[in-house]
Amino acid sequence: MRTVIYMFLGILFIGMGAYNLYAGYELEKVYVAAFGFGAIIIGAMLAMFGVSIRRKSRKMTKEKNPINSYKDDPVEREPDGAIEIHAIIQSMGVVAVADKRVRNEEIKTIAAIYEEMLGLKIRDEEVREILSDFDDHFDIEERLTRNRSYISPAMKRSIIQSCQKVMVSDLEIVRSEENRIMEIGRALGFTDPEIETLIATTPK
């Protein structure tokens, strides 16, 4: 909102300045022309400041909401939840694409869980962009097995239940998605009965 205000004021000052500059020369009044010139300078500065704020805001949003960063693991394995967030996004992603068809219900479910986990809204288009990275060559089992020591027991349970929510969101149970959830559960260290219990107790 501040960006719009600054840019609007900048354009307004430039317009007023241009009018006064023209009027000053026409009337041969130096002070009117000088006022117009000053208004143009101020307007240009306000507009540039508005653009600067807009760019900075976009950069901060991109850093907080890195939609292209979930294909690879975080560079630093620190206890800040980065590994866990990547694990849950990657797991939901491979379940969603397991049947080669990503439905709107699955997209919206992933977006809702994303917002719940990170406190950030994400558009459907951004979710689809994330999912585009999870093709047949994406080895979720190897990644989860490698990183599971960095994932808390509570998050491991959340991963399974979040994947289950994605699978049932379109009201269609597909064997390839069920198999994916079982593979994810095993990679996280669960036994088959434990995975089945987590699935059965997933909140609606």
pLDDT one-digit tens code per residue, 169-179? 988 889 999 99
> What pLDDT, on a 0 to 100 scale, did the predictor assign at position 199?
96
Is the confidence at residue 69, as pLDDT, over 70?
Answer: no
pLDDT confidence band for 71 (50 / 70 / 90): low
Task: Write the pLDDT tens digit of every residue in 36-46.
Answer: 778 788 878 87
Of the candidates 40, 42, 51, the residue with the CA atom closest to the CA atom of residue 2: 51
Helix intervals (H) in the chain: 2-27, 30-64, 82-96, 104-118, 124-131, 140-147, 153-168, 175-187, 192-200
* Average pLDDT rounded to a whole number, residues 70-93: 74
* Average pLDDT rounded to a whole number, residues 73-85: 64
Give how far Cα 101 sits from Cα of 95, 97, 118, 138, 170, Å: 10, 6, 26, 16, 11
Which pTM value belongs to this model? 0.63
Query: How many CB atoms neighbour CB 12 within 10 A?
Result: 14
Mean pLDDT of the chain: 83
CATH superfamily, region 82-200: TerB-like (1.10.3680.10)
> What pLDDT, on a 0 to 100 scale, did the predictor assign at position 4?
65
Cβ atoms of 67 and 111 closer than 8 Å: no
Of the candidates 172, 174, 192, the residue with the CA atom closest to the CA atom of residue 183: 192
- Which residues, at least 6 apart from 35, have a Cβ–Cβ distance to it below 8 Å? 17, 20, 24
Give how far Cα 36 sits from Cα of 45, 102, 114, 146, Å: 14, 58, 51, 66
